[in-house]
Amino acid sequence: MTETQPLRRLDRCFSIAPMMDWTTMHYRYLARLLSRQCLLYTEMVTTGALLHGDRERFLAHDAIEHPVALQLGGSDPKELAACARFGEAAGFDEINLNVGCPSDRVQNNAIGACLMAEPRKVADAVAAMQDATHVPITVKHRLGINGRESYAELCEFVDTVAATGCRTFIVHARIAILEGLSPKENREIPPLKYDWVHQLKREFPSLEIIINGGFKSLDACREQLDVLDGVMVGREAYQNPWLLAGVDPLLYGEAAPFTSRHDALRAMLPFIEAELSRGVALNHITRHLLGLFHGCAGGRRFRRHLSEQAHKPGADLKVLLDAMALVPEDAEASAAETA
């Protein structure tokens, strides 16, 4: 058994889940403006993409994003070790191994949730990544998979991987059904079992146990922190990003970076302008902003304007500024009063 990894300064009290096509650099920039403290994760990047694809593009991130973790998808220890080294060299603060994605494409490559059936294989991969780097190596996984869905098997998985010295486990509190359900259905149909994650913390008190799945409010997150070491939020943090403005005051006891959505978005304008000058299409950025004015008068007009205009050739910052003008600045106060 390897010695447990020493505690790093990373605070995993609140983090945003890695989400394919969603947690891009453009979304992560917005998220960091709204919370200085939350831990950010990239989309899952496969080892094949880094070894044979445009490595610079896949590892791109802005300095403002830190602390930010790279999530890898793979199963071969040597390939994962090499990619973990790439991630460390690129400056990521943590490397996370995906053992939770249930998509057919991921299964066909023998990575993601199907690895829950092979705890020893996961342990070998984690050990190789640890030996290759000096940053924390963490694992994000499900409670189990169909055919291997007992609490005892969950404990066996965690115990086997923890024997490598891995100390941080991010647990999506559902099993994954590998046949017959889409990835979207796998995020909704298998029942949440928070009690299993709580019991896991009692069984392994020295490990850092983070819970993920179904959280829609910061009050619900705060309740989990009475039992667990952290909470990871996915879809709600993306679809309603202003939720993140409450993270620092409610969970960390610090002032929110911005108290106005307009001010936060104005702070993002220089970054957006720089991205446009690099040739990035406006809609590739603004698609991550559509939920920012959720609940505000004019919020639908903001979304509609961006959806209809940002994809057009030559669309520039004026499109976004015009969309912002459709939301009265005092509408935010009204939204807060009726929330």
For the cut 60, the answer to whether the pLDDT of residue 266 exceeds it is yes
Determine the average pLDDT of the residues in 228-246: 98
CATH of the domain at 298: 1.20.120.1460
Q: Tell me, yes or no, whether 138 and 269 share the same domain.
A: no
Catalytic residue among 13, 38, 101, 296: 101
Q: Of the candidates 195, 220, 252, which is a domain's last residue? A: 252
The answer to whether 269 touches 317, Cβ cutoff 8 Å, is yes
Q: Answer yes or no: is 9 within a domain.
A: no
Q: Does one domain contain both 66 and 182?
A: yes
Query: Where does a domain end: 222, 252, 282?
Result: 252
The CATH number for 199's domain is 3.20.20.70
Is the pLDDT confidence value at 106 over 70? no
Q: How far is CA 56 from CA 43, 47, 170, 255, in A?
A: 15, 13, 27, 35
> What pLDDT, in 10s, does the model give residues 52-101?
999 999 999 999 999 999 999 999 999 999 999 999 999 999 999 999 98
User: In this structure, are 152 and 52 located in the same domain?
Assistant: yes
Q: Flag whether pLDDT at 109 surpasses 70.
A: no
Same domain, 292 and 172: no
Answer yes or no: do 220 and 317 share one domain. Answer: no
C-beta contacts of 263-272 below 8 A and 24+ residues apart: 264/30, 264/33, 264/34, 264/292, 265/289, 265/292, 265/320, 265/324, 267/33, 268/29, 268/30, 268/33, 269/317, 269/320, 271/29, 271/62, 271/64, 272/317, 272/320
Residues of the chain above pLDDT 70, percent: 93
- Nearest to residue 115, comparing CAs of 131, 102, 130? 102
Domain identity same for 167 and 266: no
Mark whether 214 and 280 lie in a shared domain.
no
**In the structure, what pLDDT confidence band is assigned to residue 9 with cuts at 50, 70 and 90?**
low
Range of the domain at 270: 261-328
| Domain-ending residue, one of 233, 252, 271 | 252
Are residues 134 and 159 part of one domain? yes
Considering the chain, what percentage of its residues have pLDDT values greater than 90? 85
- pLDDT digit string, tens, across residues 32-62: 999 999 999 999 999 999 999 999 999 999 9
Q: Is 101 marked active-site?
A: yes
Where is 233: in which H helix or E strand?
A: strand 230-233
Q: 219 and 118, same structural domain? A: yes
Does some domain include residue 5?
no
The mean predicted confidence, pLDDT, of the chain is 93
Residue 338 has pLDDT above 50, yes or no: no
- Which residues are CB-neighbours of 147 under 8 A, at least 6 positions away? 117
Question: Is 337 within a domain?
Answer: no
Whether residue 3 lies inside any domain: the answer is no
- Does 52 share its domain with 181? yes
Residue 248 lies in a domain: yes
Say yes or no: 41 and 124 in one domain: yes
Q: pTM of the predicted model, to two decimals?
A: 0.93
Residues 138 and 121 occupy one common structural domain: yes
Whether 164 is covered by a domain: the verdict is yes
pLDDT at 8 exceeding the cut of 60 = no
The answer to the question of residue 63 being in a domain is yes
Q: Is position 45 within any domain?
A: yes
- The number of distinct structural domains making up the chain is 2
User: Quick one: pLDDT band at residue 141, thresholds 50, 70, 90?
Assistant: very high
